[in-house]
């Protein structure tokens, strides 16, 4: 048994703020996913580099990074200086600016599939616009998604496999909406097939390609352990879309400008017909983009509607220009990947010494930790597994000042600001947290921070 002890964080000020916030905001926050429970919800005071501090002064090494955007670290001096300069000339004009062309050229240089670019405000809006474009170009209404994928909070994609029906592996699971308020009629518009199963995709396309506009795919499941496409699978998706005259829409909201200069498309050696990027392209400032083949993209304004008051506003464009330039011209990606690799190697040593089966999924810049010797390749692998160890350990790590995602579906994100001091501290605390988790689970106890107690987060 371990003799290590860890004390609960002092969250007095966060708890008090929650009591005030819930009077004015549903759940006391502006996104359901930020509510971790009445006693566990964290309110941030500030962030800098790879660290953040809450209202009570608790310091954390941040591996959530706002679900990935802060690729250069919080409050990057160069990015923020560019934003302040842009702010001095104005923000929104409802007119075009020179900077839009500058950023479009940068995206085209880094992402070969981008013949043309349109800007948006968020990943959700970009995917909505991409799906609308695919329908407008093809004249077809239907689409295909994959189990475990996440494409934003809009009705067309907020559907998931029912966990109970998933237990019978001999048949397809029943699909249910991700919460209330989503019209059941939407279910008639799409097919959802298992990830990494090209045969199942071809079965659907062979029968229904005449009504299918697009196959919408994440090359790495950004909301399910970072499970990656097998190379042969995503290449098959590209070939099948071409074969059946269906557009391949690649959702790189999380992977774009995070896993490399050319995104996951460059890693896999494929090109989308349409793709989306968002989170990492401006180091946390709100901006997204849709890119694609010229013939398709020219439909915007010639039959397909697209716009937005805040689209391509000055400060976000300035942040994007500086962020993309840094990613293009420095060794930021190399440092991010080296850190992620070293962190995995360190965790592997800790877990191996204790005989704990484990595996890693995804990319070094956004990886998932899975407590099984076999890494998951599908959503079903994760959903039907026991993630008690991760859930318990994550709560302990957060108490110790390592801000990982308390839900095992979300990857650990690395920034260029994570340094040797972060790595040393993280691995030391990880080792302690593993031992404390072993103790708690052997005693049959629950850590107070376990995400099973966090409504809106738990899987």
Structure-token match 């993209």, residue found: 297
Q: Per-residue pLDDT tens for 431-448? A: 999 999 999 998 765 444
How far is Cα 189 from Cα 208, in angstroms, rounded to an integer? 11
Structure-token match 């409504």, residue found: 455
Domain count, the chain: 2
- Residue 5 clears pLDDT 90, i.e. is over it: no
How far is Cα 291 from Cα 126, in angstroms, rounded to an integer? 10
Looking at the structure, do residues 41 and 86 belong to the same domain, yes or no?
no
Bridge partners of 78, per DSSP, are none
Cα distances (Å, whole numbers) of residue 377 to 168, 204, 351, 370: 18, 20, 21, 11
* Confidence at residue 458, expressed as pLDDT on a 0 to 100 scale: 28
Displacement of CA 388 from its chain's centroid (Å): 22
Looking at the structure, do residues 301 and 440 belong to the same domain, yes or no?
no
The CATH number assigned to the domain holding 313 equals: 3.40.640.10
* Confidence at residue 445, expressed as pLDDT on a 0 to 100 scale: 54
Q: Where are the beta strands (DSSP E) in 174-323?
A: 175-177, 190-193, 212-217, 220-221, 227-228, 247-252, 274-277, 288-292
Looking at the structure, do residues 58 and 177 belong to the same domain, yes or no?
no
Choosing from 280, 313, 329, the residue where a domain stops is 329
Q: Which residues contact 152 (CB under 8 A, 6 or more apart)?
A: 122, 123, 124, 125, 127, 128, 253
Looking at the structure, do residues 167 and 284 belong to the same domain, yes or no?
yes
Global pTM? 0.94
How crowded is the C-beta side of 413, counted as CA atoms within 13 Å? 29
How much is the mean pLDDT over the chain? 93
Looking at the structure, do residues 318 and 357 belong to the same domain, yes or no?
no
Which is it for strands 175-177 and 159-161: parallel, antiparallel or unpaired? antiparallel
* Confidence at residue 387, expressed as pLDDT on a 0 to 100 scale: 87
Residue 163 belongs to what domain range? 78-329
The CATH number assigned to the domain holding 372 equals: 3.90.1150.10
Looking at the structure, do residues 89 and 217 belong to the same domain, yes or no?
yes
What is the rounded radius of gyration, in angstroms, for the C-alpha atoms of the chain? 22
Q: Per-residue pLDDT tens for 290-335? A: 999 999 999 999 999 999 999 999 999 999 999 999 999 999 999 9
Looking at the structure, do residues 421 and 434 belong to the same domain, yes or no?
yes
How far is Cα 378 from Cα 375, in angstroms, rounded to an integer? 9
Looking at the structure, do residues 244 and 387 belong to the same domain, yes or no?
no
Q: Per-residue pLDDT tens for 181-195? A: 999 999 999 999 999
Structural domain includes residue 458: no
3-state secondary structure string across 181-216: CCCHHHHHHEEEECCCCHHHHHHHHHHHHHHEEEEE
- DSSP code of 79? H
* Confidence at residue 457, expressed as pLDDT on a 0 to 100 scale: 28
8 A C-beta contact, residue 158 and residue 189: no
> 222 pLDDT band (50/70/90 cuts)?
very high
Q: Give the number of other Cβ atoms within 10 Å of residue 357's Cβ.
A: 12
Structural domain includes residue 172: yes
Q: Which residues contact 347 (CB under 8 A, 6 or more apart)?
A: 358, 360, 369, 427, 430
8 A C-beta contact, residue 92 and residue 313: yes
Looking at the structure, do residues 185 and 289 belong to the same domain, yes or no?
yes
Instruction: Return the percentage of the chain with pLDDT > 90, whole number.
Output: 85
């Amino acid at each position: 048994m371990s003799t290590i002890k860890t004390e609960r964080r002092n969250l007095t000020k966060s708890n008090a703020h929650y009591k005030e916030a819930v009077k004015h905001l549903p759940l006391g926050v502006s996104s359901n996913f930020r509510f971790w429970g009445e006693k566990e919800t964290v309110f941030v005071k500030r962030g800098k580099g790879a660290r953040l501090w809450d209202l009570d002064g608790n310091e954390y090494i941040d591996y959530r990074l706002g679900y990935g955007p802060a690729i250069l670290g919080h409050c990057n001096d160069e990015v923020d200086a560019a934003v302040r300069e842009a702010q001095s000339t104005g923000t929104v004009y409802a007119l075009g600016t020179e900077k839009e062309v500058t950023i479009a050229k940068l995206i085209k240089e880094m992402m070969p599939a981008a013949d043309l670019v349109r800007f948006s405000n968020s990943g959700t809006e970009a995917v909505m616009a991409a799906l609308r474009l695919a329908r407008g170009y093809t004249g077809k209404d239907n689409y295909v998604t994959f189990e475990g994928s996440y494409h934003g909070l809009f009705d067309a994609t907020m559907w998931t496999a029912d966990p109970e029906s998933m237990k019978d592996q001999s048949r397809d699971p029943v699909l249910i909406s991700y919460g209330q308020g989503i019209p059941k009629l939407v279910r008639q518009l799409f097919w959802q097939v298992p990830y990494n199963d090209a045969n199942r995709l071809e079965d659907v396309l062979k029968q229904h390609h005449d009504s299918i506009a697009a196959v919408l795919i994440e090359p790495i499941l950004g909301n399910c352990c970072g499970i990656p496409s097998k190379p042969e699978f995503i290449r098959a998706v590209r070939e099948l879309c071409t074969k059946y005259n269906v557009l391949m829409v690649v959702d790189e909201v999380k992977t774009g400008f995070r896993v490399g200069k050319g995104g996951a498309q460059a890693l896999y050696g494929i090109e989308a017909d349409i793709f989306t990027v968002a989170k990492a392209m401006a180091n946390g400032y709100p901006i997204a983009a849709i890119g694609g083949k010229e013939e398709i993209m020219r439909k915007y304004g010639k039959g397909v509607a697209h716009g937005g008051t805040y689209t391509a506003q000055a400060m976000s464009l300035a942040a994007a220009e500086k962020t993309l330039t840094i990613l293009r011209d420095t060794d930021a990606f190399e440092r991010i990947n080296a850190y992620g690799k070293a962190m995995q190697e360190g965790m592997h040593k800790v877990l191996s010494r204790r005989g704990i089966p484990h595996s890693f999924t995804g990319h070094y810049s956004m990886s998932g930790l899975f407590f099984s010797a076999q890494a998951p390749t599908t959503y079903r692998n994760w959903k039907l597994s026991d993630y008690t160890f991760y859930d318990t350990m994550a709560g302990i790590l957060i108490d110790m000042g390592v801000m990982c995602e308390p839900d095992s579906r979300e990857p650990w994100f690395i920034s260029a600001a994570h340094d040797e001091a972060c790595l040393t501290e993280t691995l030391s605390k990880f080792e302690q947290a593993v031992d404390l988790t072993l103790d708690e689970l052997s005693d049959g106890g629950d850590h107070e921070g376990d995400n099973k107690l966090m409504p809106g987060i738990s899987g």
